[in-house]
Amino acid sequence: MSREEERAAEMENENGEWEEEQCRLYEAYNELHGLAQAFDTPFDAPAVLVVGHQTDGKSALVEALMGFQFNHVGGGTKTRRPITLHMKYDADAHSPLCRLHLSNSHSHSDSDSEPHEKSLSLQEIQAYIEAENMRLEKEPCLFSAKEIIVRVDYKYCPNLTIIDTPGLIAPAPGPKNRALQVQARAVEALVRAKMQHKEFIILCLEDCSDWSNATTRRVVMQIDPELSRTVIVSTKLDTKIPQFARSSDVEVFLSPPTCMLDGCILGDSPFFTSVPSGRVGSGHDSVYRSNDEFKKAISLREMEDVASLEEKLGRSLSIQERSRIGVSKLSVFLEELLQKRYMDNVPLIIPLLEKEYRSATRKMNEINQELSTLDELKLKEKGRVFHDLFLTKLSLLLKGTVVAPPDKFGETLQDERTNGGAFVSSDGLQFPHKLIPNAGMRLYGGAQYHRAMAEFRFVVGGIKCPPITREEIVNACGVEDLHDGTNYSRTACVIALGCRLLHILKRLLPISVYLLQKDGEYLSGHEVFLRRVASAFNDFAESTERACREKCMEDLVSTTRYVTWSLHNKNRAGLRQFLDSFAGTEHNTMGSNCVPAGISQDSSFGSVANEKDTKSRADVKLSHVASGIDVASSIQTTETRLADLLDTDISWHKRIFLASAELKFNCFLLMPVVDKLPALLREDLKSAFEDDLDNIFDITNLRHLLGQRKRDAEIELKRIKRLKDKFRSLHKHLSSHQAHSTAFSDYC
């Protein structure tokens, strides 16, 4: 054998090994994708994500790429979960061999680290997909992002992983189509989330003869604005060719200007496909008796499309143009593109698997550590530690912190009013929230508490006394009767403030839980114990607020129950002068010269007025009459002085009421959270430990859950390790093959 023949034989062997290596590479990526779906790992394998509207022929194109029919094709929503198809070429598989991936890792046996799959017939796969569609159709969500994973070996399959997403919906406007509009938003959100995966190649389907219409591209470009990882496919080519009247229109359609596609797409230009209509089956309405006939019809359709285009153009298509027409050309392009991505990503996958392996190992150690602490003394200690950490977080929130995200836990003043109650005046109106400081900010904890107190001061300060006649005031003064001018409104404000501050305090609980989880200090799995702590905190907050509100109500009654203008307060002189003037005005009106002795002798106003005072008042009244002052003018002056007197009195009461209420809520609601809650929780904890420790921590159920988590973690750990070893081996062989190829090229 000559040297050249030996070299050729050696290359043939290397090519065989290379094909085997490619097959192993494809299998490894398929398993990687399954691992990502089963355990929500933070990496994914390269795949082709099919995106299109319901009428774009999406499912038909997927079936044509596979070489057999397996799903419903037609109008309406036929896919409510993404379907991942791991297709593998197998020359010996004369009919599709399908296996359904069971994503529930609990289905594994304890010793099995292999992904669990179940062999099903095509009909059984179809029945499973239909059942899932019907199930989701009855649920509120309507769609699910969890993928249905099917592995298919078949002689017509390319080595390709395709994810078929639910078809996008373009609903008509108007209230009659509201249900469809809700579905459209749900589907678009699902598809957008899938497109976020940077490893996915987006297969964007457009059913249009004018590239200015970007129906699907509009959605795709929101995630991939430059179309740098997008392949554009114009479907239903056989229906579009007859629409073109001029060859120039066909030229633009086949080779659209770059500016028209708004980006630099993969493959440089779109692909054009046609899928023959008709279903495979034995029924009278079936067009094809077997998948072989269906595959031949696809090939024939490609040749007819090429002939029709050449006839329209009046020339032969170039090699470049032919490479973009037909399902087979698209299949080859995607397979080669995916294969290149696989090889390029091998060095990047290995460190990701290493990191995930360390994470899974750490998780396993934590589970073992938790299992070892399920004894009485250690559980009690964990409870005490959690108690201290919980109180620390509460104190931190009251003092002020930014560790909890405001957009998630903060409330604007409008949110706070809606959720915790609002201060409403006697006319039913709320104080404009824009006038309150920091009204638009999302606050929580101590900052939110102080804003609520600030609003309370604004609202109470703005309460006005309802109109009261002179007769009501005089009568009230004469018998020390009830004075209800403003106390009803203030009572309502006290109650509203209590509700608001209680709402703010109760919100500290979920924020504290978030901080504990964020810092890794949360007692996961001990739900009964955690509910008891939450219940004790909420009961304490409610009882403390109720007691504080009662103290405020006592102060409110003491400052508003009786009239306050006695001779022992600062309004004595004003009141006496007002009453003297009032008595004089009444005397002049009636034309009488007598002085009302009842005023000077009323014990309600202290000592009896002396004779000199009486004479002086009479002289004033006579001088008023002598000067000819109009009676009506005198009455008007008296009413003005009455209003001034009342305003002074109400303002004084407001200041007392505000200071008292604010002090009470600070001392008897806020401070107890700091100085009384720890002792109460400690006592409740002690009582819980003495009652029934097993039920408080639910030890039996916890052991079962931890045991299940440990088995799942063991399975995950084994699968990651096996994949890590696979990719290391693949990387070694690929590097070796590239070195050999380079050496052979240099030799030649």
Residue 246: both structure tokens together: 């001029």
Q: How far is the C-alpha of 122 from the C-alpha of 124, rounded, in Å?
A: 5
Judge whether residue 717 has pLDDT over 70. Answer: yes
- When comparing pLDDT for 707 and 462, which is higher? 707
**Span 351-407, pLDDT tens digits:** 888 888 888 898 888 888 877 777 667 777 777 888 888 888 888 888 887 778 888
Whether the CB-CB separation of 393 and 512 falls below 8 Å is answered with: yes
Residue 372: both structure tokens together: 């070892």
Strands 47-51 and 160-164: parallel
Strands 97-101 and 148-154: antiparallel
Q: Which residues of 432-443 are buried (b: 16+ CB within 10 A; e: fewer)?
A: eeeebeebeebb
**Span 5-26, pLDDT tens digits:** 555 555 555 555 556 666 777 7
Whether the CB-CB separation of 523 and 697 falls below 8 Å is answered with: no
What's the one-letter identity of residue 279? R
Q: How high does pLDDT run on average in the chain?
A: 77
Integer Rg of the chain from CA? 42
Residue length of the chain: 748
Strands 83-89 and 148-154: parallel
Residue 393: both structure tokens together: 């977080």
**Dihedral sign, Cα of residue 236, residue 238, residue 239, residue 240:** positive
Most distant CA pair in the chain, distance: 153
Contacts of 648 (CB under 8 A, 6+ apart): 571, 574
DSSP string, 136-200: HHTSTT----SPEEEEEEETT--SEEEEEPPPB--PPSSGGGHHHHHHHHHHHHHHHHHHT-TTE
- Ranked by mean pLDDT, the top range of 397-411, 573-587, 693-707 is 397-411
Residue 34: both structure tokens together: 């399954």
Judge whether residue 126 has pLDDT over 50. Answer: yes
Whether the CB-CB separation of 136 and 77 falls below 8 Å is answered with: no
Judge whether residue 596 has pLDDT over 70. Answer: no
The domain ranges of the chain are: 46-104+115-325, 378-566+647-697
Looking at the chain, the whole-number percentage of residues with pLDDT higher than 90 is: 19
**Span 156-193, pLDDT tens digits:** 888 888 999 999 998 888 888 888 898 899 999 999 99
Q: What CATH architecture is 378-566+647-697? A: Up-down Bundle (1.20)
CA 557-559-565 angle, 5° bins? 135
| Fold assignment, 46-104+115-325 | Rossmann fold (3.40.50)
